[in-house]
A = this chain, B = another copy of it.
Amino acid sequence: MRKALIVEDHPIVRESLSKLIDSSVLDLDCQHVTNAHDGLAWLNGNKAEIILLDINLPDISGIEFCTIVKSRFAGIRVLAITSSEQRLVVEQMLAAGADGFILKSSDTSEILEAIKQVINGNQYISAGVTALLSNKQAPGSDIPLLTRREVEVLKLIADGFTNPEIAEKLFISPWTVDSHRKNLLLKFNAKNTAILVKTAVTNGIITF
């Protein structure tokens, strides 16, 4: 029997998904773990057909988990499930190789359909998510993709460090930090640090 692994820390959702799959026509043996660490441990001893993956895990982010799974375990398909409808999160998840994406606000029939599609090798993106991705405007507007260094600087800004302090931490000149900061403001179309940090946090760039 083919196996499915649920990686999800909320018991309600976990058990609900479990029961949903068990009572469906899908022929899947449904296992579950509560965090990424246990998930990887399980995968080392078992073979799963599909992983139902929550994005908010207690240890590492679902995005990182997906990246690891996709690089280390060939052929496993990943269906991401999230409650946050934030575009950057969705984009990063898809970039990490997720085969499907549904929202917790999807109803049960849609979830089953998504599982079916993903197992069959198709990519299933929930309508709600598609809507989220489609309203992509002119390049440079809305939510931007950041470089590694920019994310690094952004996190330090959000932690309350000033340019000189960040410069010291990263062993670079304060001018450079200032450049990154300006680029961040530009990319986010933010007029100051306050709204920059707010949008960064609400879009999951800064994990709290």
Interface residues of chain A, those whose CB is within 8 Å of chain B, are 9-13, 15-17, 56, 83, 104-108, 111, 157-160, 162, 190-195, 197-198, 201-202, 206, 208
Question: Residue on B with the closest CB to A156?
Answer: B194
In the complex, the answer to whether A158 meets B12 with C-beta atoms within 8 Å is no
Q: What is the copy number of this chain in the assembly? A: 2
Complex CA distance for A12 and B21, rounded to whole angstroms:
12
**Given B160, B162, B192, which contacts A162 in the complex, CB threshold below 8 Å?**
B192
Max chain B C-beta neighbours (<10 A), residue from A15, A16, A190, A193: A16
- Which of B15, B108, B111, B160 is the one whose CB lies under 8 Å from A192? B160
Candidate in A11, A83, A202 with the most chain B CB atoms within 10 angstroms:
A11
Q: Which of B11, B194, B206 is close to A193, meaning CB atoms less than 8 Å apart?
A: B194
Cβ-defined contact, B195 with A198, below 8 A = no
- Residues of the B chain whose Cβ atoms lie less than 8 Å from the Cβ of A201: 197-198, 201-202, 208
CA distance A11 to B16 in the complex (A): 10
B157 and A194 contacting across the interface, CB-CB below 8 Å: yes
Could you say which of B56, B111, B198 contacts A158, with CB atoms under 8 Å apart?
B198
A195 near B16 (CB under 8 angstroms)? no
Q: Would B104 and A13 count as touching, CB distance under 8 A? A: yes
